[in-house]
Amino acid sequence: MPIDFNQIPTPCYVIDEHLLRNNLAVIKKVKEAAAIDVLVSLKAFSNWGVFPIFKEYGFGASASSLNEARLAFEELGVKAHTYAPAYEEQHIAEILTYSSHISFNSVNQLHQYMKMADHQGVSIGLRVNPEFSDTAYDIYNPCKAGSRFGITAEQLDDGVPEGVEGFHFHTLFEANSFALKKVLAVFLKKFGTFLPQLKWVNMGGGHLITGKDYDIEHLIKTLMDFKERYGVNIILEPGSAYTYQTGYLVSTILDIVENSGIKTAILDVSFTCHMPDCLEMPYKPVIVGASDARAGEPTYRMGGISCLAGDYMGDWSFDKELRSGDKIIFEDMIHYTTVKTTMFNGVNHPGIGIWGERSGFRLIKEFDHRDYKNRLS
């Protein structure tokens, strides 16, 4: 049953269970066909209310903080593969209890904590930096010159430190398997000699496996060839791919204002609070029933409800004039949204709901003044 947006109280993020399950099934297919480990990167999506659905598909979890590692353990029932740019002394012991694997960003951090990790039976890895990425967005490029992420090949002159069982790299952003292949060629050139000493290679995230034109068979073959040739376990930790194109941010127009011939629909949601990637990247989201601005058609900016001057995007055209009370439905608003939202300006946080194929709409989280007040003191 398709989503009936009239039933959705706004503002609300709505996950479409059917679309989510399609994505989970595609990723599971890759995991099984290539016989690799695939983790859910919690930084992209951590709405644990829907983790029972994820659990049905048997993925592991990747964490980048104590909070994520603990959530993985408590709500997904797995120990995390953890990586952070640095670990704090007051957190490391607890992180290790929730982790099966831990990757260190520098040799300093490795030396600081490897004994503790080893003692707890946690598999130790190093984040390496192949210094190559073909992403066009600097904000999502962890491999550009001067990056703070990972050890370069040059810094591994003395070989792989004893006790290290794996390498972890992350270079891709919303990429296909051909981009991965290019990264692997560079990785092998720079780090290939170390592979016989390793048990696993974590190839990070950025694999948009559930994207429309993604060549899954090519990915499976690439991974199987690598595994066969180098005899290491392969781990992938995509984030976006799980919830890519699986839901919406549903909002209502509260007012329409006009200045210098520009009409702005003021919404009960905000770009800066609820869709931050739109401003950060930046990218223009798709609105159901709207198109990019077209001459002669009713055209509007969408204005956020915060007081940030830049909290707007434009322009979209509609087939009729908009009115207060109309719904504006932003597509693909599940990954990297709810995990990044803020309550800046005291703006109401949208609810979070799921639309089940048979069960219809279920609100899984509502926010009120207590959530706003409890964040600060």
Out of 60, 206, 247, 351, name the contact with ligand PLP by CB under 6 A. 206
Residues 6+ apart with CB under 8 A from 173: 133, 135, 137, 140, 141, 206
C-beta closer to ligand PLP: residue 10 or 41: 41
Tell me how far CA of residue 139 lies from CA of 65, 143, 247, in angstroms.
20, 11, 24
C-beta closer to ligand PLP: residue 80 or 164: 80
**Closest CB 173 distance from ligand PLP, rounded Å:** 6
Out of 11, 125, 166, 239, name the contact with ligand PLP by CB under 6 A. 239
**Closest CB 134 distance from ligand PLP, rounded Å:** 14
**Closest CB 32 distance from ligand PLP, rounded Å:** 19
C-beta closer to ligand PLP: residue 236 or 302: 236
Question: Contact, 26 vs 238, CB < 8 A?
Answer: no
Residues between 53 and 82 with contacts to ligand PLP, criterion CB under 6 A: 62
Interface size with ligand PLP, residues (CB under 6 A): 15
Q: Cis before residue 315, ω within 30 degrees of 0?
A: yes
Q: How far apart are CA 153 and CA 144, in angstroms?
A: 14
Tell me how far CA of residue 368 lies from CA of 45, 96, 270, in angstroms.
21, 34, 17
Residues between 153 and 172 with contacts to ligand PLP, criterion CB under 6 A: 170
**At residue 252, what is the residue type?**
T
C-beta closer to ligand PLP: residue 31 or 170: 170
The reply on whether position 44 binds ligand PLP by CB under 6 A is yes
Pairing of strands 247-259, 262-267: antiparallel
* Positions in the binding site for ligand PLP (CB under 6 A): 41, 43-44, 62, 83, 170, 173, 204-206, 237-241
